[in-house]
Structure 1
Amino acid sequence: MTEGNNIPEGDAVRKEEVPTETPAEDNLPEGEKGEKGDSKVSVPEQTESPGAEQVDFVHPEGGWGWVVMLAAMWCNGSVFGIQNAFGILFLSLLKEFGSEDDEDLRFRTAWVGSLSMGMIFFCSPIVSVFTDILGCRITAVGGAAVGLVGLLASSFVKSLGPMYFTYGIVFACGCSFAYQPSLVILGHYFNKRLGLVNGIVTAGSSIFTITLPIVLSGLLKNVGLQYTMRILCILMFVLMLAGLTYKPLLLVKSRNTQTGSLCPPMSQLFNINIWRSLGYRIWAFGVPAALYGYFVPYVHLMKHVEERFGQDASKEVLLMCIGITSGVGRLIFGRVADYVHGVNKVYLQVASFLVIGVMSMMIPLCNIFGGLIAVCLLMGLFDGCFICIMAPIAFELVGAKDVSQAIGFLLGLMSVPMTVGPPIAGFLRDRLGSYDVAFYLAGIPPIFGGAVLCLIPWLEARRKKGEKEELSKEQDATQKMIEHEKTKGDTHSKNGESVV
């Protein structure tokens, strides 16, 4: 049975086979039909039967949608809250599985968090396909269940090797499958308020990033790493329940009409049209290029603070600062983006990458804890800018029709730099004895990526200018043809008059 359809498949087939009489209203003139026969259906069927009439869908703009919004907010918070707080778990992993004789300890331990974050993005294109086929509810609940199993299995692990699989792959894949449907389902319930709802939902990660570091520090100190992970499983269990609220409303074509299979046509699954845009190709290269150092502070900043300022330093405050200003940045720059027209929104992302890069380089230069707080506040503010501006830029580059896959492919490409950055930083720390060089190098990719993105507005303006010139030439040619035909017609009419 297709999700969200109240009619069993067998009944649906029988309904298609039995001919139905045409209602009397259908025989009325068009004007009378509009007055007497109009009826709006707020929840259309999810599967489309041949010959079925299309009805205008009306977004509820509330109602059960508020429950869905809260569920999506929990999803965003629990998934990325745990990921952003990995720096706290990183310290515990070093103590739990490390030894003083291991020269590559930080390098190997950083792979746990890097794999986890990278897999969330790597699975994004795949998750979009599953969401199209199975629906938001099944995909989200199944993903949360897989994440729960991965996190629970991680609590029984006694070495780093299995942790790569249980936490870095299984848990992360489950999070990815739970996360993406939470964004898709919002479009079923909201249209006019979608911007506001998206802002509230994405603020969930900021709230969890603020609170989880303190909670995790207390749990790790009192009950240890294994029991802390088991307690975190509660978040994933609640996430499973949250996924059950994703009742689909919009029409979803779940079958291939040509073959009758559940899988949509390949042209729908993998849209190559988005790659024809030069601006999108540059964006899809520039953003991942900028992210090689992006996740480094989230993983290694806690250990750097411990080495620089001692174990008693309130290192959790730094993650709280990033979380607070990231939420503020999403609200501020999301609103600012509404006043920036066209692809010029890219300049906001350029500014965010430049600031993040410079702030990463400033981390080793901070010899007082207050300086680090200021750096983290600025970094979080522009991190919020980078995140909230991604969807609007995608809309400008490829249009609303292709934006879903455009974002999905971009997230997939982002998985590589998000994965390899922190282990490289850990390797440099193991070899050089400090994190200074690692943070200096982490600031270079964002600056480089931001410089590359500066090309997009110029290229898009050039493309539009060329299109206008082509259109102008076509209009001139058409005008000349019309004038030529008119001249010929006048000549024929004059010849006819002279003959008479």
Structure 2
Amino acid sequence: MNSLQQRVPGLRRHDARTSTIRQHYYPEGGWGCVVVAVACLVQVLAHGLHTGYGAVLLFVLQRFGEERLAAAGWVGAFSMAVSLAASPLTIAICRRKSTRLTAVLGGLVTALGCLFTSFASQFHQLFFSYCTVIGLGVGMTRDSSALMVGQYFKRRREFVEIFVVSGSGLGITIMSLFVNGTVGAVGWRLGLQAVTGAVFVTFLLGTCYRSASLYHPQRRAILHLKNQKRKVKDKKTANKITKPFFDLTTLKSRTVQILLLSTSLSAVGLNTPLIYMAHEAKRDGVDASSLLLLQTYLGLAWVLGCLAFGSVVVQHSTECRIGRQYLCQASALLCGVAILGCTAVRGYGGYVLFVWVYGLFCGGYSYSLKMFTYEKVRARNFASTWGFIQCSQAIPIALGVPIAGYINISAGDKAGFYFSSTFVVIGSLTISLIDIHRRRRRQRHARKHHKTKRECSEDCRKNERRSSLPEEDVPLPIGITLQPSFFLELLEGMPKPELTCISEEGIADMDIPDHILEELELYGDITTCNQVENYLMLSEYENNLIGHTADPAEKRRRRSMLSTVEDRPSLRDSWRFFLHRHRSITTIDEASV
């Protein structure tokens, strides 16, 4: 690129037009609406094979015998685990090669897995066809759709993910009805071949994925630069540093590590009702038509949970705001309580109540976990981090669900659900370690700067007595000391905000360096039912600065500036204001040189 700047005159400019060439463009609509619709259908058809395995389990036991119950649980759990374990690899391949090609191949592999399963005459063949082949295909189609949605949406990502995550709930309803209608009517082989035809649609849907760079406003300039780059021989290409295949930078964050631990513990028992609930209801005397209604209610409750939790996240009301961390923790905790209550369920009415409560909070947990991760690691690192979070659930699902099935068989009376609910509750409580980690970071941050609130207030009183000092020497009466060098280093290392169709972006939409994320974790989530100050650190600084300003007109000007939330400057503009507010100029006499 340096050689191109020397040869191409247009690149020597540094105005706003040329600076956006190297930035990613988020259309925030347009063809992105088609991508969202395709992603929802992929979730329904492909992921629905996993979330709706409870209906498939009944036909597996009908074909291979009731004595295969424990092994049939392994089939469903292993298929989920394979799709989750392959998530980091799928995301890395999509970033290096082609997202569309990965989606097309994933749809083809999923359809072949269903076809192989239809020809399975022995039980052990299911471990290859359903576990391995379908598991890999579902993982490829699901992760490629998530990456493609991330290319088109950034500011509206929370709103779009409501529909994408709801697709998994619709998959429970639609695929359960479809499998029951086809396999129940024409038999195992022909019924699964009909399912193969439906799943093959994901192969065609993958062709609808188009790169968001096609809609870049300066696409012609980008294509011209690519053509020039092919002609120019760069001498430094041999020393070029290649990016690692797996991006492990976010795993260094302690918050991400705690999140991985929490999700892995919750995954031990969270999906147990998805696999065993229909069979347990059948053992309690619920008829076949009612079992189908239970699967339908479970999927609809999932969708309702996504809509409810999504509306809380998307709404920007200053009167009531709930942190995503607490939404995720509360939904996981209530899922564990619902699974525990399933042990006392008897009769069709009790199962209806259970599937509505469990499906509601399970869908809410799936959405809030995804959005909480998105909030912590930002858009730039979300894809790789989400891949690792999904991978952390693979082994717990592969071991936890079959263990619960074995306990149900040996002890009876749904005793395995006690095991599952225990791990889900422990996983939800583990999220509280994020608050403990943030509190310790605050304490270490205060000790690092050797400033406590008492010492800082004493220094402020001393500076008030010395009126001859210039105003810029007054220290800031807050818990941390803000040095100008800190802001200079921060602004120099801060990349420019990525280009989007909306010109102004807040701090939540900016791709900032990883070490800055750790600093922002000091201030945590804001949860209140009163009016919320969106930029708490800056508001405290401004309020304290108002208290030490001698000019009354300056006080009124600052208070009026902070009175409205809509006219509040962005974070970067505020930092620049801090740096250049009291800039002093030192004159040098020529005689002294």
Q: Which range, TM-score by smaller chain?
A: 0.7 to 0.9
Distance (Å, rounded) in 1 between the aligned partners of 2:55 and 2:310: 30
What is aligned with 1:178? 141
Q: 2:263 aligns with which of 281, 287, 294?
A: 287
With the length of structure 1 as denominator, give the TM-score of the two structures.
0.79
What is aligned with 1:79? 46
RMSD: 3.5
Q: Does 1:274 align with 2:250?
A: yes
Distance (Å, rounded) in 2 between the aligned partners of 1:360 and 1:213: 21
What is aligned with 1:117? 80
1:12-56 CA-to-partner distances (Å, cap 9, x unmatched) read xxxx99x96646xx89x98xx87xxx599xxxxxxxxxxxx8255
What is aligned with 1:226? 189
Distance (Å, rounded) in 2 between the aligned partners of 1:108 and 1:174: 22
**Further displaced range: 341-350 or 57-66:** 341-350
Q: 1:213 aligns with which of 157, 176, 196?
A: 176
Distance (Å, rounded) in 2 between the aligned partners of 1:233 and 1:272: 37
Secondary structure in 2 matching 1:315:
helix
Distance (Å, rounded) in 1 between the aligned partners of 2:355 and 2:139: 27
Q: Kindly indicate whether the alpha-carbon contact (under 8 Å) linking 1:151 and 1:230 is maintained by their aligned counterparts in 2.
A: yes
The list of structure 1 runs, each at least 4 consecutive aligned residues, that deviate by more than 6 angstroms after superposition, is 339-343, 476-479
For 2:355, the aligned partner's letter is C
**Further displaced range: 237-246 or 305-314:** 305-314
Gaps of 5+ in 1: 1-15, 41-52, 480-492
Matches within 5 A, 1:40-119: 54=21, 57-98=24-65, 102=67, 105-119=68-82
What is aligned with 2:535? none
Matches within 5 A, 1:396-411: 396-411=375-390
Q: Kindly indicate whether the alpha-carbon contact (under 8 Å) linking 1:321 and 1:377 is maintained by their aligned counterparts in 2.
A: yes
Distance (Å, rounded) in 1 between the aligned partners of 2:344 and 2:203: 44
Matches within 5 A, 1:271-350: 271-312=247-288, 314-338=290-314, 344-350=323-329
Q: Kindly indicate whether the alpha-carbon contact (under 8 Å) linking 1:295 and 1:421 is maintained by their aligned counterparts in 2.
A: no
When residues 157 and 477 of structure 1 are mapped into structure 2, their CA distance, relative to the original with a 3 A threshold, is: closer
Distance (Å, rounded) in 1 between the aligned partners of 2:106 and 2:482: 57
Q: Does 1:393 align with 2:369?
A: no
Q: Does 1:195 align with 2:173?
A: no
Which structure is higher in RCO with an 8 Å CA cutoff and minimum separation 6?
A: 1
Matches within 5 A, 1:471-490: 475=481
Q: Kindly indicate whether the alpha-carbon contact (under 8 Å) linking 2:118 and 2:190 is maintained by their aligned counterparts in 1.
A: yes
Distance (Å, rounded) in 1 between the aligned partners of 2:128 and 2:44: 23
Displacement of 1:366 after TM fit? Answer: 1.4
Distance (Å, rounded) in 2 between the aligned partners of 1:395 and 1:202: 14
When residues 258 and 414 of structure 1 are mapped into structure 2, their CA distance, relative to the original with a 3 A threshold, is: farther
When residues 465 and 326 of structure 1 are mapped into structure 2, their CA distance, relative to the original with a 3 A threshold, is: farther
1:425-477 CA-to-partner distances (Å, cap 9, x unmatched) read 22223323x35211222211111111111221232233145335535759489
Displacement of 1:398 after TM fit? Answer: 3.6
Displacement of 1:188 after TM fit? Answer: 2.5
When residues 147 and 442 of structure 1 are mapped into structure 2, their CA distance, relative to the original with a 3 A threshold, is: same
For 1:243, the aligned partner's letter is G
Displacement of 1:59 after TM fit? Answer: 3.1
When residues 401 and 21 of structure 1 are mapped into structure 2, their CA distance, relative to the original with a 3 A threshold, is: closer
Distance (Å, rounded) in 1 between the aligned partners of 2:146 and 2:441: 32
Q: Kindly indicate whether the alpha-carbon contact (under 8 Å) linking 2:55 and 2:179 is maintained by their aligned counterparts in 1.
A: yes
When residues 114 and 443 of structure 1 are mapped into structure 2, their CA distance, relative to the original with a 3 A threshold, is: same
When residues 21 and 178 of structure 1 are mapped into structure 2, their CA distance, relative to the original with a 3 A threshold, is: closer
When residues 193 and 91 of structure 1 are mapped into structure 2, their CA distance, relative to the original with a 3 A threshold, is: same
1:138-166 CA-to-partner distances (Å, cap 9, x unmatched) read 11111111111111111101111111011
Q: 1:369 aligns with which of 340, 345, 348?
A: 348
For 2:327, the aligned partner's letter is L
Q: Kindly indicate whether the alpha-carbon contact (under 8 Å) linking 1:116 and 1:171 is maintained by their aligned counterparts in 2.
A: yes
Distance (Å, rounded) in 2 between the aligned partners of 1:191 and 1:377: 32
Displacement of 1:343 after TM fit? Answer: 10
Q: Kindly indicate whether the alpha-carbon contact (under 8 Å) linking 2:250 and 2:381 is maintained by their aligned counterparts in 1.
A: yes
1:65-108 CA-to-partner distances (Å, cap 9, x unmatched) read 22222111111111221212111111111111126xx4xx2111
**Further displaced range: 340-349 or 123-132:** 340-349
For 2:40, the aligned partner's letter is M
Displacement of 1:299 after TM fit? Answer: 0.9
Distance (Å, rounded) in 2 between the aligned partners of 1:312 and 1:177: 33
Q: Does 1:445 align with 2:423?
A: yes
**Further displaced range: 227-236 or 237-246:** 227-236
